[in-house]
Amino acid sequence: MSSQAIREELCKYAQKTVTNKLVVGPGGNISARFEGKMYLSPSGFALDEIKPEQWVEVDIETGHITDIGLRPSSEVLMHLYAYRQNPNIGAMVHTHPPYCIAFTLVEKDLPIMFPDQAALVGKTVYVDYVLPTTDKLADAVVAKIEHASILLGNHGLVTTGRNLREAYYRTEVVEESAKIFLIATAIKEPKVLTKEEFEEIASLESEAYRIELLQKMK
Ligand SMILES: [Zn+2]
- What is the residue extent of each domain of the chain? 3-216
Taking the CA atoms of residue 137, residue 90, residue 99 and residue 215 in that order, the dihedral angle to the nearest 10 degrees is: -170
* CA 150 / ligand 1 centre spacing (Å): 12
Task: Give per-residue pLDDT as tens, 71-92.
Answer: 999 999 999 999 999 999 999 9
Task: Give per-residue pLDDT as tens, 17-43.
Answer: 999 999 999 999 999 999 999 999 999
CA distances from 190 to 26, 106, 112, 113, 114 (A): 34, 14, 11, 9, 12
* CA 208 / ligand 1 centre spacing (Å): 33
* Full-model pTM: 0.93
* CA 202 / ligand 1 centre spacing (Å): 30
Average pLDDT, the chain: 94
Q: What percent of the chain has pLDDT over 70?
A: 94
Q: Which residues are tagged catalytic?
A: 75
Task: Give per-residue pLDDT as tens, 50-71.
Answer: 999 999 999 999 999 999 999 9
Q: In 3D, which of 116, 138, 114 has the Cα closest to residue 127?
A: 138
Q: Residues 174-196: what's their mean pLDDT?
A: 96
* CA 218 / ligand 1 centre spacing (Å): 26
| Dihedral class, residue 107 (left if φ above 0, else alpha if ψ from -120 to 50, else beta) | left
How does 12-51 read in b/e, with b if 16+ C-beta sit within 10 Å?
A: ebbebbbeeebbeeebbbbbbbbeebbbbbbbebbbeebe
How does 176-205 read in b/e, with b if 16+ C-beta sit within 10 Å?
A: bbbbebbeeeeeeeeeebeeeebeebeeee
Quick one: pLDDT at residue 214?
65
* CA 133 / ligand 1 centre spacing (Å): 8
Flag whether pLDDT at 206 surpasses 90: no
Quick one: pLDDT at residue 201?
84
Task: Give per-residue pLDDT as tens, 145-161.
Answer: 999 999 999 999 999 99
Please give the CATH topology (third level) of the domain spanning 3-216: L-fuculose-1-phosphate Aldolase (3.40.225)
Q: In 3D, which of 37, 20, 178, 211 has the Cα closest to residue 109?
A: 178
